[in-house]
Amino acid sequence: MTLVNRSLAKLRAHPDFVALVGIILVAALLRAAFAFRVPVFVTKDSLEYVAPALSLIGGGPLELAQRRTPVYPLFMAGAFGLFGRDLLVVTAAQHILGVFTAGLTFGIGRIAFGRVAGLVGGLLAALSSPLLIYEHYLISEAVFAFTLVGSVFLLMAGLRSGRGLLLALGGLALGLATLTRPVGQAVLVVLPFAFFAHYRAWRPTLRASALAIGACALIVVPWAIRNQVVYGTAGAASTGRFLISRSVKHERNFTFYDKAVGAYPGETPERARAREIAQDVTNKRPEPGQIFQRVRDELRLTEAQTDTLLRSVAIEAIRRDPLLYARGTVEMFLELVEGAPKEESVRWHQREHDQPRVANQWGDLAYLLGAPTPAQIQEQDRAETLAQLFRPTQYSWILAPLFLVGAVAAFARPRSRPALVPAGVVLMLLAASAALVGAVPRYRYPIDPLFYSVAAGGLTTLAGPVVAWAQRRRMHAYSAQAGGPLAARRQGGREAGGPARVPS
């Protein structure tokens, strides 16, 4: 056997390894071609991560706003510390995480639905336009996607193998995901139900839940205690800012303040004024972030006090009109599932989130920002082409039904029941985002790898009977072709009065 034949034999003996390496190569080559053709995208929130990261590597404290969590600034500080104070080193590190995320996506599909599903899901994650683009932002999407997908992979591996260590590691990874983006803690609601659907018994369900949730708590609880000490509110992060923004920007039909009624009996002047500001912003329709800043500045409150006050104002308005809130949440959920086509265009992101737009807000750190270089301007068309290889919104009409088929198959087939974890996580985080933040497309993208895995499982579930039927047809045709001459010879022998002769 030649060296080439031996190598091919070894590859055929390890098809999972070949599939995984193929996905990693596709993801890595795409990101290597994209990473330096486009300037780093920034938002008004980016400075709240960059400044603490640079402070940390300069020997200062990690000072974060109340609504920020520590994992992403620590990741950013690590990138700056290793490779220098250049924004591109952060996005390059995030693109590397994107490669590993695609590999983990293969693992999730492989565990639940088999190699083909893992390969399809992994390739979709490797080529996904919004995943590629948001790895190029100075926001937490890429790190959250990696920690969330890694957590789900470990939890599924623990369910499949029965190893408690993997379940605990999955819980630790989920804790890191929560301290990257606090909505990750909503996954804790899903786990007991997914575990029970898998085990169909209470004792292993309780054991697995205790391991995963307890390990997650080891990461999250110390930060919650820190927030209690520093801000007077326990929790991974604040929620009032986001809930009032969702109620004003994405709904715009809530009533926060009625001039004919004025302040409620026993209500503090500060709270009445906060409701009046919320109503004013709702009527004028400027950016909802102005509510938080106006209330904080006018009433001279701390960040934590403002957040608590606005959370109570938003909840009160929702309680007065729960049907409006429920209907809006369902509509926003469906909008998140559909996605936003403009988010899959590099040119749109360059136009909306270029660096000069925020330079005046960065103060002493504005030296990190700059306009696109001549080389980057020349490469815009190539970057756009690279980001168009797989645009999920063009296939949402088929991906969403395939996801539902995959989720049903996971519930119906014992071998595929670990897939109830990613299916439940997708539905829970979409619902939480719609309920707490609104139809903000970028909050959907970190869960896309999980969505692709379950949809790929739905595809193989539907394709399985078709493939089996085709194989049976091929076998019947082969048997008929191979048996035709033999049958003729037997018949000829009988007609001659002797035994049929069968060739050796």
* pLDDT confidence of residue 303: 82
Question: 76 and 146 share a domain?
Answer: yes
Q: How many CA atoms lie within 13 A of 71 on its CB side?
A: 26
Question: 355 and 294 share a domain?
Answer: no
What tens digit of pLDDT does each residue of 357-375 get? 999 999 999 999 999 999 9
Question: 362 and 286 share a domain?
Answer: no
* pLDDT confidence of residue 492: 52
Question: What is the rounded end-to-end Cα distance, in angstroms, of the chain?
Answer: 30
Question: 265 and 391 share a domain?
Answer: no
Pick from 116, 172, 7: nearest CA to 453: 116
* pLDDT confidence of residue 145: 98
DSSP-derived secondary structure for 173-210: HHHHHHTTSGGGGGHHHHHHHHHHHHH-SHHHHHHHHH
Q: Is residue 89 in some structural domain?
A: yes
Q: Is residue 472 in some structural domain?
A: no
Residue type, 494: R
* pLDDT confidence of residue 231: 78
DSSP 249: I
* pLDDT confidence of residue 500: 43
Task: Confirm if 368 and 108 have CB atoms less than 8 A apart.
Answer: no
Pick from 199, 117, 122, 133: nearest CA to 353: 133
Query: What residue numbers bound the domain in which 283 lies?
Result: 254-320
CA separation for the pair 34, 45 (Å, rounded): 24
Residues of the chain where predicted confidence (pLDDT) is lower than 70:
1, 3-4, 6-8, 10-11, 236-238, 250, 252, 285-289, 482-504
Question: 349 and 442 share a domain?
Answer: yes
Question: 277 and 358 share a domain?
Answer: no
Q: Whole-model pTM?
A: 0.90
Question: 289 and 345 share a domain?
Answer: no
* pLDDT confidence of residue 501: 43
Question: 304 and 355 share a domain?
Answer: no
What tens digit of pLDDT does each residue of 22-73 get? 999 999 999 999 999 999 999 988 999 999 999 999 988 888 887 889 999 9
* pLDDT confidence of residue 262: 86
Question: 296 and 425 share a domain?
Answer: no
Q: Is residue 173 in some structural domain?
A: yes
Pick from 105, 69, 75, 68: nearest CA to 92: 75
Question: 157 and 52 share a domain?
Answer: yes
Task: Confirm if 372 and 354 have CB atoms less than 8 A apart.
Answer: yes
Question: 389 and 282 share a domain?
Answer: no
What tens digit of pLDDT does each residue of 187-215 get? 999 999 999 999 999 999 999 999 999 99
Q: How many domains does the chain have?
A: 2
